Amino acid sequence: MMRTRTMDDQKNQILIAVITFNIVIMIYMVYMSMSRGLDDLSFWHFVIGILLASVAAGGAFVVTTMKK
């Protein structure tokens, strides 16, 4: 028997994805600033950080969807 998803389940899945996105962005930017210095950061480092965080957030969302 399939269980229907409630709004709370969907809110929790989105919350986990958003938290994962923010954590990955913070870790990536701290790593890049420590390894290259703040003067060497460019717009493309920020774009790469957003892409990595988006992939991680999507993966977290899929994993939480499959767990239920």
45 found inside a domain? yes
54 found inside a domain? yes
Which residue range(s) make up the domain with 61?
Answer: 11-34+41-67
CB atoms within 10 A of CB 7: 7
Task: Give the residue from 33, 19, 26, 16 showing the smallest Cα distance to 49.
Answer: 26
Alpha-carbon distance of 21 to 43, in angstroms, equals 18
52 found inside a domain? yes
Threshold 0.85, pTM exceeds: no
User: 13-66: per-residue pLDDT in tens?
Assistant: 899 999 999 999 999 999 988 888 878 888 888 899 999 999 999 999 999 888
4 found inside a domain? no
Q: Is 4 left (phi over 0), alpha (psi -120 to 50) or beta?
A: beta
Residue type, 23: I
- Tell me how many domains the chain contains: 1
3 found inside a domain? no
18 found inside a domain? yes
